[in-house]
Chain A
Amino acid sequence: MNIKKMNKGLDFLCTKYGAKKGEITLKDGHCFVGATPLLPQRVERKIVELLKMTENGTLEGVSTLRFASFAPKGADVQALLARELDVAAYLGKAKVVRVMAVANGPAINALVKLANDVNCSVEISAGLPRGQAAYDRHEIICARGVGSDQTIDTHTPHASIRVSGAKGMEEYTDVDTELFGMTYEEVWNVRAAFALLQNPKLGAEWKKAYAAANKAAASCFAADKAKRAKTL
């Protein structure tokens, strides 16, 4: 992530919309504004749309969440898992109360229970070749309807543009005109920082959620070692 470029984008948004100014900093690979950890997944458009579906009656009676997140070799598996567990709590609208997981090398498979009895499976792998784009998948399975951020009947993510040119196959997925040119990860971190600066009350909520997700992720690794489910 290019923090300088991201802060320029954040400054642009804050000036344009009259929000309080702030600065993004990077600590241990995670973005913060002041002492508040950013939760970009909570402003990421596809996650927001999935959440809306569970709130507006499009989907009813959530039973199971199925998530996956794949990143290049060397990525922080525990951080990837914590992110997905936060999405689970956010979309499932309940705390993670029990976790079981199996880890091996760059991969961990977790099976978690939310306080409202919803199941969530999380498949994490840092097994992609270096340089390859990370991707993820979120599916909500309900008594009425299934929602997903991936196309049905494909196991590869959709790209907005594919260019077959001199450089071979290139893909582009731009999601934000105001922040045009930033990577997907940069865009949602800037948007998260902007959301926080617009609504400082989010700070307390995000700090709590970040701590809970990290605790749940650590418990997954502990459950793998102990070969038994951990209750949180």
Chain B
Amino acid sequence: MKPVKIAMMGMTHGHTRKYYQTLLENKKLDWVASCAQDEEAKKVYEIYKTGVPCYLDPDQMYADHPDIEAVVIASANDRHYEQMKWCAEKGIHILSMKIPSFDMEEYDRMIELVDQAGIVCQIELEMHYNPVVKRLKKLIDEGAIGKVKAVQATNITLSPVWAFPWQGDPKASFGKVVPLKKGDPRFRGGALCDHPHIFDLIRHLTGSSFDYIYAEVAPNLRKELKVEDMLMAVGKLKDGTAFLFDPSWSRLEERLKVPGPGWERFPKRMEVNVTITGEKGMLSCDCFGPNVYHNGAPNDRYTVQYTYFDEWVGLIDEFVDCIRNHKTPLINLKWHKETIHAMLGCYESLETGKIARI
């Protein structure tokens, strides 16, 4: 199979660096260029010494590499539409970050663009390529605990805002400046916008869809933030499954400009844990374990060091397969729309104090 000529755009998303190894190692790909949002993003990109040229102007990149077939859009949420449009106009396939847009009119225009251009647009929800999630789905499908009755899931991390400031900017993260609720000085665009995975996962595991959702926001851990960093949600799926989600930035961090060792202050950077009650039993699951532990450099304090599974390998494999074999990715814009609706439902509930119907 001819390798797919691929490029990256934006380079400001927290997941940007996670692609480098896969793009360089995967023989089905030929990573030809990158295009940074600005000088700052280019400077950070160059630290990683990928050997792939980095531009600041996408048109210049395309002029120099007119054979680009696919782009990983690794930018702030409010830049996604213009970049998708740029790709669609050129018939370039798209791998989008996890939040294409929170503006549902814009979201529908993205669907139109992709459909009209006949291109692949895959959404980056890497948990689908995690081996623990694969086992979890298999166990549930095989009836290990019977029909699912209740799910609790965490998607808790440190806050990436110090390295990726757009994630603390209501406009760049949520797409527009919307207060959380009356009398609250914070705006939409924080931890919730960073953590769609559990909203997606429950649909994937149960095959059901959201009925309603209710959310509560708690006092921020980081008083400087304009956006929420602690919130939780409960609700039900249409099949009656009761859920409790924690998508908070509840793990404190060192305020590094570039992520690296010592970023975490809580010993653990991130956790996606799930407990499920079924008709026949219970199941608890740590999607990122087992790990290794140390108290060495740089801070000489107890640290959980991940033994990452590198979900990006499977994600890219699917993307290439869809491009070469004209398939639709499992996580496409249309599938993902309900997940975005559920996340918006959380914000609606925070504003009204009532459940939001999805």
Contact = CB atoms under 8 A, between A and B. Distances in A.
A146 B244 contact: no
Contacts of A156: 284
9 contacts: A66-B246, A70-B275, A70-B282, A102-B234, A127-B277, A141-B221, A152-B267, A154-B289, A227-B212
Given A68-B152, A109-B243, A146 B251 contact: yes
A105 B149 contact: yes
B19 interface: no
B278 interface: yes
A145 B241 CA distance: 33
B16 interface: no
A105 B150 contact: yes
Interface residues of A, number: 43
A63 B218 contact: yes
A14 B349 CA distance: 52
A201 interface: no
A210 B232 CA distance: 26
B355 A227 contact: yes
B250 interface: yes
B218 A127 contact: no
A109 B152 CA distance: 8
Contact of B244 (A106, A117, A123, A141): A123
B55 interface: no
Contacts of A63: 218-221, 230, 250
A125 B241 contact: no
A142 B218 CA distance: 11
A113 interface: yes
B104 to A, nearest CB: 24
Interface of A: 61, 63-64, 66, 68, 70, 98, 100-111, 113, 117-119, 121, 123, 125, 127-129, 141-143, 145-146, 152-156, 224, 227-229
Given A104-B240, A146-B266, A229-B354, 19 more contacts: A63-B220, A68-B275, A101-B234, A103-B242, A105-B277, A107-B149, A109-B234, A117-B219, A118-B218, A118-B219, A119-B216, A119-B218, A123-B244, A143-B219, A152-B267, A153-B293, A154-B289, A227-B355, A229-B214
Prevailing SS type, chain A contact patch: strand
B99 interface: no
A23 B354 CA distance: 46
Nearest to A117: B219
B281 A142 contact: no
Q: Which 3 A-B pairs have the closest CB atoms?
A: A107-B150, A109-B244, A119-B218
Given A104-B241, A108-B242, A123 B152 contact: yes
Q: Give the size range of B's interface with the partner.
A: 35 or more
Contact of A229 (B152, B286, B353): B353
Question: Could you say which of B235, B279, B282 has the most chain A C-beta atoms within 10 Å of its C-beta?
Answer: B282
Given A110-B234, A153-B304, A125 B150 contact: yes
Given A63-B230, A119-B230, A229-B354, A125 B236 contact: no
B251 A155 contact: no
A118 B231 CA distance: 10
B283 to A, nearest CB: 9
A155 B150 CA distance: 17
Contacts of A109: 150, 152, 234, 242-244
B276 to A, nearest CB: 9
Given A64-B248, A229-B214, A127 B236 contact: no
Given A101-B234, A107-B150, A111-B233, A64 B240 contact: no
A141 B354 CA distance: 25
B268 interface: yes
Contacts of B293: 153
B291 interface: yes
B223 interface: yes
A100 B282 contact: no
Contacts of B289: 153-154
Nearest to A105: B149
Contacts of B252: 145-146
A104 B221 contact: no
Contact of B282 (A104, A125, A145): A125
Contacts of B304: 152-153
Contacts of B242: 102-104, 107-109, 224
A147 to B, nearest CB: 11
